[in-house]
Structure 1
Amino acid sequence: MFRGVANLNLDTKGRMAMPSRYRDRLVETCEGRLVITVDRDGCLLVYPQPEWERIEQALMSRPNMDRQVRRLQRLLVGHATECELDGQGRILLPPPLRDYAGLDKRVVLVGQGNKFELWDEDTWVKSRDEWFKEEDETAEPSAVLESLSL
């Protein structure tokens, strides 16, 4: 499980050092091989390759005559890019993906269980604050969350 928030820097070549607390696990579970793709919220999704392959297989097995399925296939699979941790534990983020997420220098890596989200720092702070505000304005939890005790 990947959890926690890490504030990181991209170098001038667009490389990001994976926090050391995740490196060993990534090497053990996927030999440092990752897949990065886009997310509709404006961030990037970073998956260990075996986890991505399960998702990709499930998505591609859906009938692509359905417009929503085809849209997700185009976006997620179409932008999916394989990368590998280098000897210093860094990953190179391809320019098209950096451009999509507006990644320049300061980024935030957010653990999400089976994957990471990678955000531009300013976008992350703004979105996070909006989500907290939305939560405060919502009087009743959704039916999905009613039974969850935090």
Structure 2
Amino acid sequence: MLRGATSISIDSKGRIAIPKRYRQWITEQCGGLFICTIDHQFSCLLLYPINEWEHIEAKLATLSSLHPAERRIQRLLLGHASECEMDGQGRILLSPTLRQYAHLQDKIMLVGQLNKFEIWSDVLWQQQIELDINLQAEDALAQSSRLSELSL
């Protein structure tokens, strides 16, 4: 499983190094092949191991291209989807379009989300975490039954 938040650098060519603790698992699970796309709700990227992305594609394929909202999701996620293969040094190359969308420069955050990574600019990540903490405090009384069952 992919978990934890790691501060990493992005080089001038748009390459990021996957932290060593994930590399063996990623190689075993997906041969080092990823799909990177935009997050349609936040200014970050989603990086899926190829086997996980195939599940997402199967779900997207069930959406109707005649329904405007469903077509938008297909257009955004599939239209921005880009293959990224991990090289021998554990790096992947992010396309310029994806880097621009997520405002990626210098320091970024790689955030494990069980079956995928989120890739955030360091600045936007800090802003999002602050917002999430504030919203969580406000929503504490109105938690969903599923959240209250977690007993965190």
TM range (shorter): over 0.9
Partners of 1:70 and 1:129 lie apart in 2 by: 32
TM-score (norm 1): 0.96
The residue aligned with 1:8 is 8
Structure 1 unmatched runs, 5+:
none
Partners of 1:47 and 1:38 lie apart in 2 by: 11
The residue aligned with 1:134 is 135
Amino acid at match of 2:10: L
How do 1:11-90 residues align onto structure 2 when only pairs under 5 Å count?
11-39=11-39, 40-90=41-91
Residue 36 of structure 1 aligns to a residue in which SS? strand
Partners of 1:54 and 1:141 lie apart in 2 by: 29
Runs (4+) of structure 1 moved beyond 6 Å? none
1:113 equivalenced with 2:119 (yes/no)? no
| Residue 71 (structure 1) shift | 0.7
Structure 2 unmatched runs, 5+:
none
Amino acid at match of 1:10: I
Partners of 1:49 and 1:137 lie apart in 2 by: 37
What do you get for the CA RMSD once the two structures are aligned?
Answer: 1.0
- Count of residues paired in the alignment: 150
Amino acid at match of 1:25: W
| Residue 51 (structure 1) shift | 0.8
* Higher share in helix: 2
Partners of 2:148 and 2:32 lie apart in 1 by: 38
Residue-by-residue CA offset, 1:51-82 (whole Å, 9 max, x unaligned)? 10111111112222222211110000110000
Percent identity between matched residues is 47
TM-score (norm 2): 0.95
